[in-house]
Structure 1
Amino acid sequence: MIVCKFGGSSLSDASQIKRACDLVLENPDRKIMVVSAPGVRNKVFPDRKVTDVLLSIIKESESGRDGLEDRRLIAERLHDIAEGLGLSETIANELSIEIDRLASQLDPQSRSTRDALIAMGEVSSARIIAAYLQKEGHRARYVDPRQAGLKLVYRAGVTEILPETYANLAPLAMTDEIIVFPGFFGVTSEGDTITFSRGGSDITGAILAAAVHARLYENWTDRDGVLAVNPELIEDAAPLTEMSYREMRELAYIGFSIIHHEALEPVMRLNIPIHIRNTNDPSSPGTRIIAERTHIDRIITGIAASDNFCSVNMRRILINQEVGILSRILAIFAELGINVHHVPTGIDSVSIVVREEQFPLEIELALRQRLERELDLTQVTVVRQLSIIMLVGEGIRDTVGVMARATAAMAKEQISVEMVVLDYFEISMLFIMQHYEKRRAVSALYREFFENE
């Protein structure tokens, strides 16, 4: 069995939905179709993703407005899709009524009412696609994640998969129909709708692939596959035909957006390969993500970059000899709700790297006060507007001099590196620098490891 997930760009209008359905139908092993909400249309300017319009309705509600214009836009969009697929207006009307009902029930104090409305983007795609396949004479049915038992829980700011989810979804492996399954959301043990973070349909697809023990998880998007570098930073970056799970997880964490980094964990446990493919060019080889690579033709597989980090730097003589000091520092960060990304240390210093979005000035003030009051740490400096650049490759571990080449390439361009973090397992190396150096640093590293090899 193959589980195939289609992103919003692959389902943005009726013609794209027809193309996606044709791809599913051409291979009888493609039995489960995970779908996102309709994305931006190529021929409509300006245009918005349906999920963004639903979020706008929520924002309007929080400001005391009814969001009628956004609701009208979604209703019009759904009617256009249904009409383009030759469906009656009934299904679009039903979905629009449901969206209106959920919008009227929004409660600022209730996450579940918000999530139930946001999930309607994926619900709309799935119900329309199932109806279209049935109209065309194919055995297909819509399956709601809440009824199927995709159980999730929200802990410490993260949506987690409950273990029983896999057993709940396993019976779908016995289907002889095409299952159309909306991505991005599930249900809590209390019966409330709960969503993943944006891009979470990738996670839904991975969960289903693991639950039914699929032989392959296909992720259909609007790109030919994964590139070695974000094309916004390097034009005509080298395409990647193969990656390991480890490489993709590292790169996705720091900025590769083609697949959600949390989507890898469910399939990694069962060694299910992922194939990134282009809906608009299915003949393209795409990128395969597998457990272990058998052929490594480059030292570096990819270069990722991300902005909006900051470092909290604490200094005290011989701090490294204080037993338990690091755990006490990290406990304060955790109690303030600050997620820690990296912890470079020295003999007399400890640095904590965090996302700026989790570290506004009021949190910084509270942190400084607690560090001084509880740990007598008075020498604390904060450096904001940092960028992280990460080199990732399975070839690093077997190659001498990778760090030397990387630092020399950046030194040649007079780029100052603030901190360096190395992976013990020798699959990645990370450079932290001022944000304005990011683009030049990526270019220098790409020339060194891709153009000069």
Structure 2
Amino acid sequence: MKVVKFGGSSVASATQIQKVGGIIKSDPERKIVVVSAPGKRNNNDIKITDMLIDLGHAYLQNKTYKDYLDKIMKRFEEIIQELNIPLSVLEDIEHSINNVLSRNLSDEIKFDAIKALGEDSSAKIVSEYLKHIGLEANYINPKDAGIMVSNELGEARILSESFSNLYALRERSDILVIPGFFGYTKEGNLATFPRGGSDITGSIVAAGVKAALYENFTDVDSVFSVNPNIVDNPKEITKLTYKEMRELSYAGFSVFHDEALIPAFNEKIPVAIKNTNNPQSPGTKIVAEKESLENCVVGIASDTGFSSIYISKYLMNRELGFGRKLFSILEDEMISFEHAPSGIDDMSIIIRDDQLTPEKEPIILKRIKEELQADTVSIHRDLAIIMVVGEGMNSTIGIAQKATSALKEANVNIEMINQGSSEVSMMFGIQAEGIDRAIQSLYDAYFGK
């Protein structure tokens, strides 16, 4: 059994959904399908989810929302008519939207339910189209599938009982189409997952049914070893380990949100990233283990939008509880950190800019200075993080030297470096303005010009 997930670009139009139908029909092992909401058809288009968010804001603020609703329904109507499936599907979608709007729910619960209507509608359309092309297929709501989640709207987490509930789906002989992005709380309320929600659903379902393979169809042939917007025609990655993919996705790779694949990883289910527009391409396989290669580096990822808090105090290393007190201050101010490279008398805390707001900055500086009696406390903004990723690099001679030489050639100063005992990645902090030069030089060093 294979679980197949199709992203927003794969269900953005009738033409794309026809490709989806062909992909499912071509392989009888593709038994469970997870879909996103219709995405953009072109660069100037609007995603259905964004349209629903606009609708939700207007409705909850008692503003006129009919124009938003009309645009949403028109988009679905175009897809349904071009697919030549019954208009009763459109009536069902409109009924579902009006039902959510009219139900007596809190604003928070209602807004989450409105956001999820895109995926729900997409699943109904895809299941009906699969029937239209002769397949035995049915829509199944996440509640009926057994996807139970925590009561954290927009940040829902899967509950353990979901996996045994989902395993029962193996008994079904038909193709099941499940909307991604949301589940249901024990109280019966809909709650959405965080960013990358449909990928999370696909991974959860694959883990629950213990699929032989989880295929994630998107609009690229494979994962590239570096951002193709920075390096022309970069090398494609044919095989990755789970750890490598997590490091890459954390640091700016846009194929997956870094937490999306954890359920599949936990069950050691292989994942294939494939292209809806070119399904014959082998894509990228993500596996638990792979054979060691001479060039252990598989990819170079980068992301901007970081700041660092630099703390210096003489004999910091001898002061019991210094680290605990420092991180307690961050916890009190609701700030999570990314990295914490340190020396004997100093430490740097890497934080995403959206965590270290201008309002929190003076509070943090004051508390660290006063409560920890630090000699120096300063904040450095406009940082970028680069991750050089590959399993086994801690036992491969010369990997770090290549990186530092490449950054020197690019005339980029290293603000900080962090590898420690990691066998999967090296992290470099640099000024954001040098990010493109740094990535190009690192790519040439590890993969050749």
In which range does the TM-score fall when normalised by the shorter chain?
over 0.9
**Structure 1 residues 227 and 243 mapped into 2: Cα distance closer, same or farther (>3 Å)?**
same
Instruction: Tell me, in whole angstroms, the C-alpha distance in 2 between the residues paired with 1:328 and 1:95.
Output: 53
Q: Structure 1, residues 325-375: CA drift from partner, whole Å, max 9, x if none?
A: 111111221221111111111122121111101111111122223324433
- Listed as ranges, the matches of 1:18-57 within 5 Å are 18-42=18-42, 46-57=44-55
Q: Does residue 382 of structure 1 match 2:379? A: yes
Q: Which of 40, 63, 66 is 2:64 aligned to? A: 66
Which of 203, 222, 235 is the matching residue for 2:232? 235
Q: Is the 8 A contact 2:394 2:421 kept in 1?
A: no
Q: How far is the alpha carbon of 1:61 from its aligned partner? A: 4.4
SS at match of 2:210: coil
Q: Which residue of 1 aligns with 2:10?
A: 10
Match of 1:202 in 2: 199
Q: Which residue of structure 1 aligns with residue 208 of structure 2? A: 211
Residues 1:258 and 2:255 aligned together? yes
Equivalent position of 2:278 in the other structure: 281
Whether 1:408 aligns to 2:399 is: no
Is the contact made by 1:185 and 1:194 (CA closer than 8 Å) also made in structure 2? yes
Amino acid at match of 1:13: S
User: Which one is further off, 359-368 or 385-394?
Assistant: 359-368
Write the distance in 2 (CA, Å) between the matches of 1:132 and 1:236. Answer: 36
Instruction: Please say if residues 147 and 166 of structure 2, whose CA atoms lie closer than 8 Å, have aligned partners that are also in contact.
Output: yes
CA contact (8 A) 1:333 1:339 kept: yes
Tell me the distance in 1 between the aligned counterparts of 2:98 and 2:438. 49
Asked if the contact 2:240/2:286 (under 8 Å) is kept, the reply is yes
Deviation of residue 52 (structure 1)? Answer: 1.5
| Aligned 8 A contact 1:71 1:100 in 2 | no
Q: Which amino acid aligns with 2:34?
A: V
| Paired AA for residue 365 in structure 1 | P
* Per-residue deviation, 1:297: 5.0
The normalised TM-score by structure 1 is 0.94
Any residues of structure 2 matched to 1:396-435 within 5 Å, and which? 396-435=393-432
| DSSP-derived class of the 2:91 partner | helix
Instruction: Mark the CA change 1:110 to 1:369 in structure 2 (over 3 Å): closer, same or farther.
Output: farther
CA distance in 2 between counterparts of 1:254 and 1:334 reads: 23
- Count residues in correspondence: 449
Q: Does residue 1:117 correspond to 2:110, yes or no?
A: no
| Structure 2: gaps of 5 or more residues | none
1:155 deviates by 6.2
**Matches of residues 289-328 of structure 1 in structure 2 within 5 Å?**
289-328=286-325
Kindly provide the CA deviation profile for residues 97-141 of structure 1, in whole angstroms up to 9, marking residues without a partner as x: 43244346698x743211111111100000111122223332111
- CA deviation after TM superposition for structure 1 residue 430, in Å: 0.6
Question: Which whole-Å CA distance do the structure 1 matches of 2:111 and 2:169 have between them?
Answer: 28
Deviation digits for residues 155-193 of structure 1 (CA, Å, limit 9, x no counterpart): 698432211110111101111000000111111222221
- 1:435: how far off? 0.8
| AA of the residue aligned to 1:448 | A
User: SS at 2:360's partner residue?
Assistant: helix
- AA aligned to 2:384 is S
Alpha carbons 2:384, 2:431 under 8 Å: kept: yes
Query: Does the C-alpha gap of structure 1 residues 328 and 110 become closer, same or farther in structure 2, counting only changes over 3 Å?
Result: farther
Cα deviation for residue 395 of structure 1 reads 4.4
Equivalent-residue separation in structure 1 for 2:343 and 2:60 (angstroms): 47
Alignment of 1:128-143 (within 5 A): 128-143=125-140
SS in 2 for 1:342: coil
Cα offset for 1:26? 1.3
Q: Give the distance between the partners of 1:130 and 1:261, measured in 2 at CA.
A: 29
What secondary structure sits across from 1:159 in the alignment?
Answer: coil
| 1-structure distance, mates of 2:151, 2:387 | 29
Q: Is the 8 A contact 1:61 1:106 kept in 2?
A: no
d(CA) in 2 for partners of 1:85 and 1:378? 68
| 1:208-243 C-alpha deviation (Å, 9 max, x unpaired) | 111111110001111101000111111211111111
Q: Structure 1 residues 106 and 440, CA, compared in 2 at 3 Å: closer, same or farther?
A: farther
Structure 1 residue matching 2:54: 3-state secondary structure: helix
In structure 2, give the amino acid aligned to 1:224: D
Counterpart-to-counterpart distance in 2, 1:225 and 1:411? 30
Deviation, 1:271, is 1.5
Q: Any conservation in 1 of the 2:109–2:153 contact (CA below 8 Å)?
A: no
CA contact (8 A) 2:81 2:87 kept: yes
* Secondary structure in 2 matching 1:420: strand
- Report the equivalent of 1:342: 339
| Equivalent pair of 1:307/1:387 in contact (CA under 8 Å) | yes
- Farther-moved stretch of structure 1 (358-367 vs 145-154): 145-154
Answer with 98-107 or 247-256: which moved more: 98-107
Pairing partner for 1:99 from 97, 100, 106: 97
| Counterpart contact for 1:5–1:34, Cα < 8 Å | yes
Residue aligned with 1:48, SS: coil
* Pick aligned residue for 1:226 from 223, 243, 249: 223
Residues 395 and 188 (structure 1), Cα distance of their counterparts in 2 relative to 1, 3 Å cut: same
Cα distance between partner residues in 2 of 1:322 and 1:423: 22
- Whole-Å separation in 2 of the counterparts to 1:156 and 1:377: 39
- Tell me if 1:184 matches 2:181: yes
Q: Read off the aligned partner of 2:3 and give its amino acid letter.
A: V
Supply the AA of the counterpart residue of 2:26. Answer: E
Asked if the contact 2:238/2:283 (under 8 Å) is kept, the reply is: yes
Mapped partners of 2:153, 2:98: distance in 1 = 31
Does the 8 A contact of 1:75 with 1:93 survive in 2? no
Paired residue type of 1:81: I
Question: Secondary structure at 2:388's aligned position in 1?
Answer: strand
Contact 2:138 2:175 in 1 (8 A): yes
Aligned AA for 1:308?
G
Percent identity reads 39
Distance change in 2, residues 1:73/1:349 (3 Å): same
One-letter amino acid of the counterpart of residue 120, structure 1: L
Query: Which stretch of structure 1 is more off in the superposition, 142-151 or 65-74?
Result: 65-74
**8 Å Cα contact 2:4-2:33 kept in structure 1:** yes
